[in-house]
Structures are given as structure tokens and as C-alpha cells.
Amino acid sequence: MAGQYIRNSRSVVHGHARRDKHGGKTGLYLSWLSIKARLRGLSYHGRNYYQHKAVQMNPLWETFEFFEKDMKKGWFKGATLHRRNGWEGYWKKNCVWMSKSEHCALHNKLRGRKDYGK
């Protein structure tokens, strides 16, 4: 099954999807899916924020295995991926894992800046 795609009635699922011991997708895999959805405008937030800034992702990260290789280190349960420079894309050197509370605190701090979200 490695490297194959499985088509079900709703979507195409990659054969390397990481699953936890209960059969659910791991947080790392879900983070990867979320990035792709935001950048493709499949989420409300993606359409209104990421696309007008032309945020991109490392092209190798189109495949989960490359994303996992680059970003697994430092990942922890409940982590969110933060881009150090919001004007740059999702690249290994621009991304760091944070807890949700750290991420929210940082964004609250940055909201006072004139260039935030533009």
C-alpha cells in the first residue's frame, strides 16, 4: 500500500496517512492537512487571509513524508505550527511548534502592530 492512493466515496486518502492506536489520524498529519487546506483556500480563514498574502509552502511538503521528515522533531500533542515571519511561507526555517496558549498570546501581542495581518 505504500505510496498508493485509496479512493473512498468522499475523498482521496494517501496510503501513508499516519494513524494513532485507535485508527484516527495523528495530530502531525492533521496539521499538514490543515496547512494545505488554508493555502488552497478550502477554509474560510485561508480564503480571507493566506491567499491575498500569497503564502506558499515548501513544494516537497505536498507529500506528507517530506513534511514529517522536516517537522516531526519538536512536535507534541496539541501543538500548532507557527510561522516566525508571517509574510513568509511554510518552510522548515520559518516554522516552529507552539502550544495553543503560546500561539494565542503571541498573536494577541502582535495585534497592536500596524503591519499585523496586512
Which of 23, 24, 29 lies closest to 68, judged by CA?
A: 29
**pLDDT confidence band for 9 (50 / 70 / 90):** very low
- Going by C-alpha positions, the residue among 66, 63, 70, 67 that lies closest to residue 5 is 63
Threshold 0.95, pTM exceeds: no
pLDDT band at 51 (very low <50, low <70, confident <90, very high): low
The span from the CA of 63 to the CA of 33, in Å, is: 10
pLDDT in tens, 76-99: 999 999 999 888 899 999 999 999
Q: What pLDDT does 4 receive?
A: 39
